[in-house]
Structure 1
Amino acid sequence: MPVDAAELWIVDPICGSLNFVQGIPCFAISIALRSEGRIRAAVVYDPCHDELFEATTETSATVNGEKIGVQQLSEGTEAWSAAVVGTDWPRHGERRNRAKLIVGLMVDQVSECTLMGSPALGISSVAAGRLHAYWHLDLKIWDIAAAGLILERAGGVLTDTQGMTWLFSDGGYIASNGVIHGSALNCIQAVLRLEAGAHGG
């Protein structure tokens, strides 16, 4: 993908293709415009619920024209224990096994862990205050590009699993309302550190 292009449209025609094939009503069309080194405009459309998530660098995040924002429940450990967190499985390999371990740890710490099947809708759901966080260990640029800007303009936070800002790369990422970001990051990093230690890394 020519990420160094002056202007670049980043499109995922069906984010949640397995859900689409199986007739599960959770998939989306994701479109983002990257210009001068950053995402400038973004839309995520959920055709099953006729919801259009939108944002630009100059405007707030909206759903069908109504302004949205991340949901804050409380602070600290209370916020984490009350959190509803979304995720999805990497397709195969070591990342899938890591995700299983993270879910096993996280499910005992939060109110609910739910599978989405569509990363773009998972991140957009955090932006709309329906989830408090969404994470995935194997996201692609087209999964993140549009939903990431929508999340940012809704007051949320997106980092990789090391807590670094997304810089147009694939990998593991966490989207959150901000308040619980550290807790989500700590939970994921605990498993990654444990695995690294087991392999002598």
Structure 2
Amino acid sequence: MHPMLNIAIRAARSAGKVIMHATEQLDKVEVQQKGTNDLVTTVDNDAEQAIIEVIKKAYPDHGFICEESGELGNRSSEYQWIVDPLDGTTNFIKGIPHFAVSIALQVNGKTEQAVVFDPIRDELFTATRGQGCQFNSYRTRVTKAKDLKGTVIATGFPFKVKHYKETYLAIFSDMFDDTADMRRAGSAALDLAHVAAGRLDGFWEIGLKPWDTAAGELLVKEAGGIVTDFTGGHGYVASGNIVVGNPKVVKAMLSKMRPHLTPALSR
């Protein structure tokens, strides 16, 4: 195992302990609203600090891009850790057992290491660039679906950008007609990990942030999948509009999206 991946796993498990301890006393968790339909808890902050502490101890000269704390450490370093300490905060607050820790390491702008950790189920998804994707130390691959028939596709509702509601629902309707079923579970990091593990055939969402997708993106690619924006391009980091799956599933999903795309969603 790459030593930096080992540190990322250690950091994710440290954050997981913070989160699991808090699930036993949810009534004591402080919740604040940091934006429209965007919540943060003391647990998000504590878990993030646990991650930073572990990584800084091993690599004091590295930089961080964190959901809660923003940019920290050495901003000029070629090593930047992309951290979402608790992806699925709303689920956590409501006591819904579906959330994850997401940590990625970018070296000169390329994601080289990735960890998504589900502390509720003790499930660990990891990847090192060029060395495949693993789930609890077992190699994983995306599914072999040839089109949307019989697939289960995950998505996320555009709850932070509700002005896209009509477009989203039109795409959802067309895609739903051809799939076996659709899922909306509330954690993009876990959705991406589950695509990489072959549990889901694909995933799409509008307006995600880099910390939502950085780790999951590498997991999917190392499991044989592809990641695109809504036009099949590579603008998903800037736009936050993401489509993932095996190449044939992504092609089928994009064909359902194309008739409904607005100029804003085509970037």
TM-score scaled to structure 1, two decimals?
Answer: 0.88
Aligned to 1:10: 82
Aligned to 2:157: 89
Moved over 6 A (4+): none
Letter in 1 for 2:156: D
Instruction: Indicate if the aligned counterparts of 1:156 and 1:178 stay in contact, CA closer than 8 A.
Output: yes
Q: Does 1:133 align with 2:225?
A: no
Aligned to 1:178: 247
Q: Does 1:99 align with 2:99?
A: no
How many Å apart are 1:4 and its aligned residue?
7.3
How many Å apart are 1:120 and its aligned residue?
0.7
Kindly tell me: are residues 153 and 102 of structure 1, through their superposed partners in 2, closer, same or farther at Cα, counting changes over 3 Å? same
Aligned to 2:15: none
Kindly tell me: are residues 58 and 182 of structure 1, through their superposed partners in 2, closer, same or farther at Cα, counting changes over 3 Å? closer
Corresponding pairs, count: 190
Q: Deviations over 1:29-84 (max 9, x none)?
A: 000000022001000001111100000114210011011110113x3xxx311111
Which of 242, 256, 264 pairs up with 1:187? 256
How many Å apart are 1:167 and its aligned residue?
6.3
Q: Deviations over 1:119-161 (max 9, x none)?
A: 0111111111111100001111011100000110000110011
- Structure 2 matches for 1:150-169, cutoff 5 A? 150-166=219-235, 168-169=237-238
Which of 100, 103, 107 pairs up with 1:35? 107
Q: Deviations over 1:79-117 (max 9, x none)?
A: 311111000111133223322221122111111111121
Which of 61, 71, 92 pairs up with 2:133? 61
Instruction: Indicate if the aligned counterparts of 1:80 and 1:183 stay in contact, CA closer than 8 A.
Output: yes
CA–CA distance in 2 between the matches of 1:175 and 1:116?
16
Which of 183, 186, 192 pairs up with 1:123? 192
Aligned to 2:92: 20
Letter in 2 for 1:137: I
Is the strand fraction higher in 1 or 2? 1
Kindly tell me: are residues 166 and 148 of structure 1, through their superposed partners in 2, closer, same or farther at Cα, counting changes over 3 Å? farther
Larger Rg: 1 or 2? 2
Structure 2 unaligned blocks of 5 or more? 1-64, 66-70
Is the helix fraction higher in 1 or 2? 2
Instruction: Indicate if the aligned counterparts of 1:95 and 1:138 stay in contact, CA closer than 8 A.
Output: no
Aligned to 1:47: 119
